[in-house]
C-alpha cells in the first residue's frame, strides 16, 4: 500500500540549493535518473560535474545535452565500467590524482538482468550492484575524507537503492557461514529464486550501508553514506523487461525520469542526519523486513563481512578505507 500511495500521491520536491564550489560525481549518468540528477546539479551551480559512464560516446552526448540546457561550464566525462574491477580501480586512481575534492558521489549505475549471467565469478546483479559498488565506495573514501578535512565540509556518498529490497525473503541468508555470496551465484539457486535476484541485490546494498554506519557512526566518520529509493520510474534499468504486464504497470504507476531523479539528487545533497539511512520520497524512512529484527541484523553482519572480504580479495586491504576518521 505504501508503494502505491507513494507512486500515485507523492511528488518529490523540485531540487533547490547552491552547489557553487562543489564537485559532484555521478555514475550511470549518460541516461535516465543519473543524467537528470546531473542536470539538476549543473543547473544549481556545481563547479565541477563528472559523468562516470561506461560509454564515452554516450557520455559526451549527455554532456552536450546537459550543458546546452543549463549553460554549465565544467561537465566532464570519465570512463567507468562497473562490470570491470580494474576499471573501478583505475577510475578511483584518476579521481585521487585529478580532482581536488569530491563533495558528492552518487553511485547510480546498476543492472537488472532478465536471465542468469556470470561475470567475475558472480551472478551479474550481485557483481555490479553489490561487489563493484562497495569496491567503488571503499575506493572513494580517502579522497572524500581528504575533502572533509581540507575544506571543512562533510561529503556524501549516496547509493541509488530500490524499494524492491522489501520484496525478497533473502533465502540465501540461510547458507553456511561464508557461503552467502556463493549461494547468490549458484545457477540452480538463482533459477529457483530468479524473481528475487535484483531485489536481493538492492537489499544487500541497504544492509551494507547500514552496517558501515553502525560500525562508523556520523560522529566518528567524515563522510555521509546513505541509500535513496527513486521509486518506479521510466528509466533504462528495466530495458530487458518484456511483456505487456510490465509495460502497463509502468504506464500507470511510473514517475517520469526527471521526477524520479529528484530523489537521487536528494540523496547526494543530504547531510549527516542521513548517515546509514534509507531515503524514500526524499525523507528518512525506517526499513521494513527483511532488514529489521534479530534475523535482519544477523543477515546484515554476515553478508557485510562476506562482501568486505570479497573486495579485499580484489584489492587487498581496501576495506580498511572505511576505518578513516
Tens digit of pLDDT for each residue in 15-29? 999 999 999 999 999
Catalytic residue flag (residue 41): no
Encode pLDDT of 129-139 as tens digits: 999 999 999 99
Note the pLDDT of residue 301: 97
What mean pLDDT is predicted for residues 75-103? 99
Residue with more model confidence, 213 or 324: 213
Cell triple for 100: 581536488
**Does pLDDT of 165 surpass 70?**
yes
| Residue 318 and residue 325 in contact, taking contact as beta carbons nearer than 8 Å | no
Catalytic residue flag (residue 202): yes
What mean pLDDT is predicted for residues 173-184? 95
What CATH architecture applies to the domain 2-314?
3-Layer(aba) Sandwich (3.40)
46/28 Cα distance (integer angstroms): 18
Which of 202, 278, 297, 320 does the annotation list as catalytic? 202
Most confident of 1-5, 9-13, 82-86: 82-86
Burial of 219 (0-12, 13-18, 19+ CB in 10 A): exposed
Taking the CA atoms of the chain, what radius of gyration do you get in angstroms? 18
Note the pLDDT of residue 294: 87
Note the pLDDT of residue 51: 99
Q: How confident is the model at residue 185 (pLDDT cuts 50, 70, 90)?
A: very high
31-35, 108-112, 159-163, 243-247: which range is least confident on average? 243-247
Burial of 65 (0-12, 13-18, 19+ CB in 10 A): middle
Give the whole-number percent of the chain exceeding pLDDT 90: 84
295-320 CB burial, b ≥16 within 10 A, e <16: ebeebbebbbebbbebbeebbeebbe
Which of 41, 165, 198, 278 does the annotation list as catalytic? 198
Tell me how far the alpha carbon of residue 174 is from its chain's centroid.
26
Note the pLDDT of residue 116: 96
Domain ranges of the chain: 2-314
**Does pLDDT of 1 surpass 60?**
no
Residue with more model confidence, 256 or 324: 256
Amino acid at each position: 500500500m505504501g508503494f502505491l500511495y507513494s507512486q500515485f500521491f507523492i511528488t518529490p520536491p523540485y531540487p533547490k540549493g547552491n552547489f557553487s564550489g562543489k564537485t559532484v560525481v555521478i555514475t550511470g549518468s549518460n541516461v535516465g535518473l543519473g543524467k537528470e540528477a546531473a542536470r539538476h546539479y549543473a543547473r544549481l551551480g556545481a563547479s565541477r560535474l563528472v559523468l562516470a559512464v561506461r560509454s564515452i560516446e554516450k557520455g559526451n552526448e549527455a554532456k552536450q545535452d546537459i550543458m546546452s540546457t543549463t549553460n554549465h561550464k565544467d561537465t566532464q566525462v570519465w570512463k567507468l565500467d562497473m562490470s570491470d574491477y580494474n576499471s573501478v580501480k583505475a577510475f578511483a586512481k584518476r579521481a585521487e590524482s585529478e580532482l581536488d575534492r569530491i563533495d558528492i558521489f552518487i553511485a547510480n549505475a546498476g543492472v537488472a538482468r532478465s536471465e542468469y549471467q556470470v561475470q567475475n565469478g558472480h551472478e551479474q546483479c550481485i557483481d555490479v550492484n553489490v561487489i563493484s559498488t562497495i569496491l567503488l565506495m571503499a575506493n572513494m573514501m580517502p579522497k572524500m575524507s581528504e575533502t572533509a578535512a581540507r575544506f571543512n565540509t562533510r561529503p556524501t556518498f549516496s547509493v541509488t537503492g530500490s524499494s524492491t529490497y522489501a520484496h525478497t525473503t533473502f533465502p540465501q541468508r540461510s547458507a553456511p557461514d561464508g557461503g552467502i555470496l556463493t549461494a547468490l551465484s549458484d545457477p540452480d539457486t538463482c533459477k529457483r529464486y530468479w524473481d528475487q535476484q535484483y531485489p536481493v541485490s538492492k537489499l544487500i546494498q541497504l544492509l551494507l550501508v547500514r552496517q558501515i554506519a553502525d560500525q562508523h557512526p556520523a560522529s566518528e566518520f567524515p563522510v555521509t553514506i546513505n541509500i535513496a529509493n527513486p521509486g518506479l520510474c521510466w528509466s533504462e534499468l528495466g530495458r530487458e523487461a518484456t511483456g505487456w504486464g510490465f509495460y502497463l504497470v509502468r504506464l500507470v504507476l511510473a514517475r517520469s525520469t526527471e521526477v524520479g531523479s529528484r530523489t537521487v539528487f536528494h540523496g547526494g545533497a543530504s547531510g549527516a542526519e542521513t548517515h546509514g539511512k534509507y531515503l524514500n520520497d526524499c525523507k528518512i524512512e525506517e526499513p521494513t523486513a527483511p532488514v529489521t529484527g534479530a534475523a535482519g541484523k544477523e543477515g546484515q553482519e554476515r553478508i557485510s563481512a562476506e562482501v568486505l572480504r570479497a573486495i579485499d580479495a580484489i584489492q587487498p586491504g581496501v576495506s580498511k578505507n572505511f576505518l578513516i576518521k
